Amino acid sequence: MTGIAAGLLLQLGLGALAVLSALALAPALRSLVGGIFGTLIAVTGFLTGLAALLGATGGLVIPIALPMDPLLLAPDRLGGLFMLIVSGVGILVSLYSMSSTRGPDASRTAWVAMPVFLVGMQLVPAATDSVSFLLAWEIMTLGSTVLLFADHARRSTVASAGIWYSAMSQLSFFFILAGFAVLATASGGTSFTDLQAIEPGSGAANVAFVLFVLGFGGKAELVPLHVWVPRVLPEAPSHVSAAMSGAMVKIGVYGALLVCVRLMPDGPAWWGIAIMLVGGASALYGILQASVSSDLKVLLAYSTTENMGLVFLGLGASMLLRGYDATAAADAALVAALLLAISHAAFKSTLFLGAGAIIHATGERNLDRLGGLGARMPVTAAAFGIASLGAAAIPITSGFVAEWMLLQSLIHGGRLDGAVVSISASVAMPLAVAVIALTAGLALLTFVKAYGIAFLARPRSAPAADAREVPPLMQLALVLGALSILALGLLPGPIAAVVATTFSTDPTGAVQAVGLGGVSLPGIGATLDPVMLVILSALVAIPVFVSIIVSAHRHPARTIDLPWGGGGSRARPRMQYTATSYAEPLVRVFDDVLKPTRDVQVTHVAESRYLVERVRVEQRVSDVIETRLYRPVLNLFQRYGIVVRHIANGSIHRYLSYSFVALLIVLIVVSL
């Protein structure tokens, strides 16, 4: 038995043990043991994924009773990379959940579903045929749905979110199933090796491509299939949101890569353009919604849509450029997309875990009622801050490297040896650069808001003022997450070089590691060495800081308080910026896209109309796509349902009459 097979078998065995222990153990022990098992499952998955990524082969054969080939789980390098990503998130989430879960989140059902979810996610990238892929996919969806429903009894929003999630998951699954069915019919087999035989330009391939993009795009939260995201991720327990956004969404990305890179690598140009369009639209729409949201978890959820949009933008650009033989730029774009996925897994799971820590400490997720947490929860604040830097793509974090590489490939991709590769590429690439630029600017604004309003300034509510730092295990998960973001950002070279091996046998022409963990793109002629940058800027900054500190020590501190204090001494928490007021200019600028509803109520003083006693402003930004696209369809279905209710009204006589009439009609028709 190979190492990979042993690792996969161990994951399955640990998963089964975790389910049994969750069923058997008393509530007091359940979270601890469940967390330990979850960590073990994730560590096993991590090691298995790492081995597969580094080129280990082998797999686990699972015979089945059905008349078809046995299921074969054998991750290749790409599968290994994604197994690594999801299990890395799994480690953080499992450590965190050991002490974060309380009440219904720590119920027996939830702890049975957690290992199912983790194992399901880790097995999807290992599948080598469509049957085992779909099986693992459904296990993953099932586990996540049950976890989401954990708190449905207390909050009605959870039930509604769960129904949205179930419906959208099933829609995704249907599309993927249909895609595989089309390919399997055309190629005559279900294993990925058989499916690779499809001619990418053929009709069946085109149909399957559209179905797959709809299916995997739904899981990867792309517009317009993202509507479940702003409902589900905020309502799920925070460690589940972290696992969903950090890991499960990557499985959607993996599916898209599987289709576009492995199964049908040389598709027509419109495939790349379509993916770029969907990705660009998702990136812009996601970050716009995130930037105006004042609910911390909704903000993070929409930001996930943005990041996945960028990943798909990179993937689409890579497909388009590869079609025009701009291989170096195409490889760089694909590496950038993969690095984006990795870094998103790191920073978004840390952010969601940080949001969970805030909810754990204050019970609030409305930014307008937070503030001042930086002094009260220093570890959480530091981790959330680093993750915010990553999400805003600021240097020395992982997000920066990925976006830098994506921009490099897009800027240089339109030209090959000085000549324009094609009209469509030379139109698409600058547009994509513009989209990324706007997205990056809005992302910066969004995360300045998220971090600044929540952790800086003064508390805006009593729970925020009474916040205490979370338990050590939750801190450990947050610190590990933050460290991984920094590691990915400081040492991009070796990571990018390994990532490039997932789709190319000789990637040195596209990506190389140089210097102190720096990355070089020889095909484009660009180099980035973050460690060197840090050392250089430290050389410049340290003398300046030292001189400032020294000169500050020479002058004694002023001890007399000014009586008036420049007005600052009487500032109240309510006078500070809130998340809503901070985003107000943006709402005005993008008024036509966001369509916010404002409600202003002015109460006058009884004596005079000219004096105002209080003003109450309420602003809601709803999801335009949901209200304009989904609502009409749902209303149509609802009307159909009301009509149908008359036909099927629950009377057994009526149902029997239907079958009797049907039988009579059949008899009459056959005897005619």
**Secondary-structure percent of the chain, ordered helix, strand, coil, rounded to 5:** 75, 5, 20
Interface residue with other proteins among 23, 634, 644, 656 (CB under 8 A) is 656
Smallest distance, other proteins to C-beta of residue 163, A = 19
Distances (CA, A) of 144 to 95, 138, 307: 18, 10, 21
Among 156, 559, 597, 651, binds other proteins (CB under 8 A): 651
Roughly what angle, to the nearest 10 degrees, separates helices 77-100 and 327-362?
10
Applying CB under 8 A, which of residues 548, 648, 663, 665 lies at the interface with other proteins? 663
What's the min distance (Å) between Cβ of 653 and other proteins? 6
Answer yes or no whether residue 645 interacts with other proteins by CB under 8 A: no
439's CB contacts (< 8 A; 6+ apart) are: 283, 284, 287, 306, 309, 310
By CB under 8 A, residue 664 contacts other proteins: yes
x/- mask, other proteins, residues 605-644, rule CB under 8 A, reads ----------------------------------------
Token pair listed for 457: 């300034």
- The verdict on 648 binding other proteins (CB under 8 A) reads no
Q: Contact between 649 and other proteins (CB under 8 A)?
A: yes
Cβ closest to other proteins, residue 68 vs residue 667: 667
Nearest to 55, CA basis, from 76, 34, 40:
76
Binding segment for other proteins (CB under 8 A), chosen from 234-242, 245-253, 427-435, 654-662, is: 654-662
Q: Are strands 597-604 and 419-420 parallel, antiparallel or unpaired?
A: unpaired
Q: Is residue 660 near other proteins by the rule CB under 8 A?
A: yes
Taking every pair of Cα atoms in the chain, the longest distance, rounded to a whole number of angstroms, is 111
Question: Closer CB to other proteins, residue 102 or residue 654?
Answer: 654
Task: Work out how close the CB of 320 gets to other proteins at its nearest, in angstroms, rounded to a whole number.
Answer: 56
Identity of the residue, 560 or 669, whose beta carbon is nearer to other proteins in the bound complex: 669
- Burial group, residue 111, by CB count within 10 angstroms (0-12, 13-18, 19+): buried
Nearest 5°: the CA angle 396, 331, 392 is: 30
CA distances from 263 to 130, 259, 538 (A): 11, 5, 47
Nearest-Å Rg of the Cα atoms of the chain is 27
Sole window of 31-39, 257-265, 417-425, 656-664 interacting with other proteins (rule: CB under 8 A): 656-664
Least CB distance to other proteins at residue 252 (A): 39
Q: What is the DSSP string of 276-342?
A: HHHHHHHHHHHHHHHHH--BHHHHHHHHHHHHHHHHHHHHHHHHHHHHTT-HHHHHHHHHHHHHHHH
How many whole angstroms separate alpha carbon 300 and alpha carbon 305? 9
Q: How far is the CB of 669 from other proteins (least distance, A)?
A: 10
How many residues make contact with other proteins (CB under 8 A)?
14
- Judge contact between 267 and 319, C-beta under 8 A: yes
Q: Choose, by CB under 8 A, the member of 203, 494, 657, 665 that binds other proteins.
A: 657
71-73 vs 60-62, strand pairing mode: antiparallel
**Least distance to other proteins from the beta carbon of 672, Å?**
8
Count the Cβ atoms, other than its own, within 10 Å of residue 614.
9
Of 238-246, 376-384, 580-588, 652-660, the segment contacting other proteins by CB under 8 A is 652-660
Q: Which stretch binds other proteins (CB under 8 A): 415-423, 465-473, 560-568, 657-665?
A: 657-665
Per rule CB under 8 A, is residue 603 in the interface with other proteins? Answer: no
Nearer to other proteins, 617 or 664 (CB): 664
Among 462, 544, 560, 670, binds other proteins (CB under 8 A): 670
Contacts with other proteins by CB under 8 A lie at 649-653, 656-657, 660, 663-664, 667-668, 670-671
